[in-house]
Amino acid sequence: MRQKSLLVIAAICSVVAVSLGAFIKAQVQATPGPQDQRAQNSPYRLSGPYSHKNLSIFLVHGNQSEPAKPFLTLQEALAQKKVVVYETKSVNELAIENLSDMDVYVQSGDIVKGGDQDRMISVDFIVPPKSGRMPIAAFCVESGRWTRRGSEASANFSSSENVVAAKDLKLAAKRANSQEAVWANVTVAQDKLSNNVGGSVNAGASRSSLQLSMENNKVKESTTAYTKALADIVKNRPDVIGYVFAINGQVNSADIYSSNSLFTKLWPKLLNASAIEAVAELQKDSTNEPITAEVVSGFLADAEKADASQKEVTKRVDLVTREDEKSIFFETRDRHQKDAWIHRNYIKK
């Protein structure tokens, strides 16, 4: 009898031990590692990658806050003649005037075409309704011209259909704040594009113009395959507020916005710039390991950890910058929305 009882007890202990072991194993497997925890704590959710050739894109999904008044982009406002960007005869300063009743959002890297030379806008800012003329910091992206080009107006700028492509060019403007470095990186970008599209992209009307190089037919032909493959990935996704892109298997940059409406307005221009950079960086006969969501989540999270510095761009807009040895992060804040952020830009060094 006693032996039978001992056998029963042993069997019960064995079942308990197995169950306890399974429970402990389940708990260990459910505990996220550092990378998973970082993604879990992030305000963003990623989908992707969506890839074409050497360009991979992750969409960023997240909560959004629509401004009380929707923004017009600079491209929209120029096309609708609701804003004027004036030539000032100063390489690094233009003037802008909002003629409309809407806020106009201007993004760092926006290229304005015309004047005495094409420029890129240096920093994000918001132009309020009926603003009058306001100064706007800029860099020249066309070093060889200081006069009217063809039939274009020289007193003002006609359009803003492109944003600068090339990570090093963005860093030259936004981090180094150097006109010489901007010019040097425009030349590098043009040379890379020429090598990869099978012919010079330097335009006869102005060989130094980055804008005209981006309009080059061979560049357009090369980028069309990218944009056709990837343009529709944002459709029917109302919670998408930004994107991260990688080229040749390496994270490059990210742009995230406070609202889906602002992001989707800018998406065609952003995608085109990413495609142009992918063409410039294409390594023929080269294969790369696919980028993972864990790596992208880590890039976003790490970029936001560095110590912050803050400066006033205008009475309405502040710029917060965080930088470490691996990346630099810029956050544009709107004082009219209780310092809510409008745009976050992450660049991998």
pLDDT band at 290 (very low <50, low <70, confident <90, very high): confident
The single-letter code of the amino acid at 340 is: A
- Note the pLDDT of residue 2: 39
- Note the pLDDT of residue 15: 36
- Note the pLDDT of residue 94: 97
- Note the pLDDT of residue 68: 66
| Rounded mean pLDDT, 154-158 | 92
> How is residue 89 written in tokens?
């005869």
| pLDDT reading at 321 higher than 80 | yes
Q: How far apart are CA 45 and CA 114, in angstroms?
A: 40
Residue 220 lies in a domain: yes
- Note the pLDDT of residue 36: 33
Residue 331 lies in a domain: yes
| pLDDT reading at 39 higher than 90 | no
Q: How far apart are CA 51 and CA 250, in angstroms?
A: 13
pLDDT tens-digit series, residues 231-269: 999 999 999 999 999 999 999 999 999 999 999 999 999
164 Cα distance to chain centroid: 10
CB-based burial label for 204 (10 Å; 0-12, 13-18, 19+):
exposed
Q: How far apart are CA 92 and CA 80, in angstroms?
A: 25
Residue 13 lies in a domain: no
Overall number of domains in the chain = 1
Q: Which residue has the tokens 């990623």?
A: 46
pTM of the predicted structure, to 2 decimals: 0.86
| pLDDT reading at 37 higher than 80 | no
Contacts of 228 (CB under 8 A, 6+ apart): none
Three-state SS for 195?
helix
Residue 121 lies in a domain: yes
| Rounded mean pLDDT, 314-328 | 96
pLDDT tens-digit series, residues 59-118: 999 988 776 678 999 999 999 999 999 999 999 999 999 999 999 999 999 999 999 999
> How is residue 162 written in tokens?
């492109």
pLDDT band at 284 (very low <50, low <70, confident <90, very high): confident
| Rounded mean pLDDT, 296-317 | 95
- Note the pLDDT of residue 287: 76
| Rounded mean pLDDT, 283-306 | 90
- Note the pLDDT of residue 289: 80
Residue 1 lies in a domain: no
Can you give the residue range of the structural domain that contains 167? 38-283+290-348
Residue 27 lies in a domain: no
| pLDDT reading at 213 higher than 90 | yes
Comparing 43-52, 202-211, 253-262, 285-294, which segment has the lowest mean pLDDT?
A: 285-294
Percent of the chain with pLDDT over 90: 80
Residue 269 lies in a domain: yes
